Structure formats: structure tokens, C-alpha cells
Amino acid sequence: MNKKTNLGKRELEDIMNNLSDLSDLDSDDDAYYQTAPVTSPADYQNESQDVIVERRLEELFGVSDNLEETIESQEIYSVEALTDILEINSPRPIGSVGETTGQYDVLPTEENIATYEESFVMDCNQRETEIEQCLDDIREEHSHYTPISTDDLSARPSSSNVIVTEPDRRSRSSRTMNTVRQPREWKIETEIHNVPEFTNSIQPQSTYSHKTQPIDVFQNFFPEYLVQVLVEQTNRYAVQNKSNNFTPVLSEEMKAYLGILIMIGLNPLPDMELYWSNDPFYNNAEISKIMPIKRFKKIIENLHINDNEKEPNRNSPEYDKMYKLRPMIQELNKLFQQETGNSSKQSIDECMVKFKGRSSLKQYMPKKPIKRGFKIWARCDSVTGYLYQFEIYTGKGDSMEDEGLGYNVVKKLSAGLPENTLIAFDNFFTSCNLMEDLY
């Protein structure tokens, strides 16, 4: 008796490629295939693989009036599909039990029966062990959970089941989720909610009139002491960096530099040097007569806001990606809130500052009008758009403990707001835990 072997993938591909030849059968061939007898498993014992495949294909596809309809009805469009049908319709090996009759296709031997029974018992024992292990893992995982009350599932959640652990301060890379929140227990705490009227509007703390100059408004938001910080830190960095041909910057010169930056923003040109160009079409006299181009570039080269020598190491828990700008950000946020009282309707959202240079802080958001730049979280007045507070997004890993990015952004920007303040934000920030904590 020839030993039966499985067909390889390449052989099955050849069979699939030759199926189209069967479409040339005439009516006499169709009649023959319709009346062809179905072979039994014993007929394959002394046949070669080619003969077996040919006879099985005749049995599979020769019982229909139209061969193409048969192939489409069987969905024979790939080697995998043909393999599945051959396995289903091919004779079972010796010792296998029929699905419907419970009888053997070919009479088994005592050795085959013993081998089958032994493998069946081993499979059952292995399956029982796997099930027990899975149940043990489930019991261990949920051993510290408390059952959920089914008294009322329509009320808002309770915050009494939050366990906060002490954060790991060893390194920034080792920080993980530090809050374990147990299954939420829903219950009714308040039947009637009193919604206040949000009527407080924005109120400037400074008095302005039609005679107020723009420089007066600017100095309220960027006072003299911030200019002094820029002067001090810029001169210090020039000394630390041993900048060539650098003379210390003065306060008036730093103010002129800031004014040039504002004018460049109002009148953009393709290249910065064009503002000092000899071509009158590009030259800006208000800029070129204030400061030479070389001095302007020298200030840009050494401009600093914080002391580099005091910057924490990158592996330190106190490391801050915004260290070089942190003093300016903190002071500006403080000034923005001092100059205007909080209104009762505010919103929190993200905004983008366009930037296409090199920076680890640059974000790419393809669905936004500004696709590349710095992402900034902002809290503003809902009516006028006045900016109260902002934070620059520095990437994943920033304050990601507890409840996630959206939760932390809203909680940080809304800290210190008075009661009965309406805060609006979109679904990116929304979560059940945030709604519960804000309410």
C-alpha cells in the first residue's frame, strides 16, 4: 500500500492554474461527470497523487450542469479555498471516527485505537490544566476588587473608592500609572441640581481710554522687570558661551529688539536680511535705522531667559523640557490673570503655533489648519477670547499619572477658579472622572 502524503502549496497552485482548462468540456463530458460514480476511500489505496487529485476534482466539480457555476458556488478562487474543500471531502486517515455515523471509515487496528485513546486523554488533561490556570489568574486579578452595588445604575458615580499611591520619583522613565481606580459604584446623591446663572463678564483691572497708547498696554503685560530678566540672562549666557565680539545688552536695546520682532511679524518677508537690504523695495527704514543687522543677529545668538548652569540633569525627576522658558511662562500667566478678573464662562482647548524648524517639542497634526508646530493648551474667556492661562505641550510622559492627558490638562488649567464657573471643552478632554471631580 502506498503511503498517502499531503499536497504541497506549489502543487495546489498548479491545480488552480489548470482549472480553467475544464471550461472547454462539452455536453458529452458534462453528462459523463453527472453520472460518474463516487469513489470510496478504499479506491485510493494504490493510486498516485495525480490520479487521486484528478478523481477528487471530478467528484467535487462534476456533479453540476455548468462547471463555472459550480466553481463560483464553491468560491474556489485561491489555493487556501481549494485546500479547505479537499480536506473536507477527502477520505479520513485510518482510525478516524465518522462525524455522523460514529463508525470508522476504515477498520482500525488495536494499536491505532490505543494511540487515539491515549492522545485523547492527554488532550483532556492538558485542557483541564489550562482552564484551572486561567481561573486562578482571574481570581487573583480580581481579589482586591469590591462587588458593584446594583441598587441604582442610573446615578452619577461616587469618588470614595479611589486609591492613590505615592508616585515613584526614581527617574522619569520609571514613572507608571500611580492611581488604581476600583470598579465604580453608582448611586443617587442628589435628586435636584441647582444650576447657577453664569452672569459674570470679563472685567479689566486697568483703565484704558481712546487716548491710551499701544506701548502702555504692552507694558502692562510685559513690564520692566521681565525686560531686565532678558538683559541679565542674555549677558550671562554670552559670557558662559564666550561669544566673540559681543558687548553687553542694555535695557533700551532689548526693548528695541522686542519692537523689531513685533514689526517683523506685522510685515513678513522671505528673508530676515531683506529688512536691511539696499533695495528700497524691501528695506524697512523703521527697522534698519534702529539697529544694524549684525547686532540684531548677535542678540538672537545669545538671547536667554534662564541660567543654563542650573538646569537639572535629563535623568533627574526635576528635569523640565521647558526649563529655558519656564520663568517667562509663569510670569506671563500670572500677569494675564492679574490684568483681568475671571469671567463665569470660560473654555479650554488646544491651539497651534506654526513652526517648521527642528525641535523635539514640534507636533504634527494632519487634520488641523496648522499641521506642524507647537501645541499649546489654553484657557480663555468664552465671549471675548481673552487668554487667561496657557501651557506648552511637551509630549507624552508629561504628568501622565492619574487619569490621563485630557483630565490633567483641564484640572491644571482650572485650578484656582472660583465656584460657579462654567468651563467648556470638547470630547478630547471629557471623561466620567473629570465630570465628577469638577462638579
Span 10-21, pLDDT tens digits: 766 666 666 555
Core vs surface per residue 205-230: b (16+ CB within 10 A) or e: eeeeeeeeeeeeeeeeebeeebbebb
The number of beta carbons lying within 10 Å of the beta carbon of residue 343 is 21
Contacts of 33 (CB under 8 A, 6+ apart): 25, 58, 61, 62, 63
Amino acid at 5: T
Which residue matches cell numbers 511662562? 329
Joined grid coordinates for residue 306: 534662564
Residue 154: what pLDDT? 44
Half-sphere exposure of 33 (CA within 13 A, CB side): 22
Query: Measured between alpha carbons, how far is 406 from 408 in angstroms, rounded to an integer?
Result: 6
Read off the pLDDT of residues 163-198 as tens digits, 9 standing for 90 and up.
334 444 444 444 444 455 677 777 887 777 788 888
Joined grid coordinates for residue 147: 462587588
CA angle 370, 373, 379 (to 5 degrees): 80
With cut-offs at 50, 70 and 90, classify the pLDDT of residue 28.
very low
pLDDT top residue among 25 and 187: 187
pLDDT top residue among 246 and 162: 246
Q: How far is CA 110 from CA 10, 55, 94, 105, in A?
A: 37, 31, 12, 15
Going by C-alpha positions, the residue among 6, 153, 147 that lies closest to residue 83 is 6
Tallying the residues shown for the chain, one arrives at: 439
Residue 135: what pLDDT? 74
Going by C-alpha positions, the residue among 247, 399, 266, 253 that lies closest to residue 322 is 399
Which residue matches cell numbers 488533561? 125
- Across the range 317-332, mean pLDDT stands at 92
Query: Measured between alpha carbons, how far is 300 from 294 in angstroms, rounded to an integer?
Result: 10
Q: Do the Cβ atoms of 116 and 150 come closer than 8 Å? A: no
Query: Measured between alpha carbons, how far is 435 from 425 in angstroms, rounded to an integer?
Result: 11
pTM over 0.85: no
Radius of gyration of the chain (CA): 39
Query: Measured between alpha carbons, how far is 109 from 378 in angstroms, rounded to an integer?
Result: 80
Highest mean pLDDT range out of 66-70, 145-149, 191-195?
191-195
Q: How far is CA 45 from CA 89, 91, 164, 366, in A?
A: 16, 11, 71, 65
- Determine how β-strand 345-354 pairs with β-strand 422-424: parallel
- Determine how β-strand 422-424 pairs with β-strand 179-181: unpaired
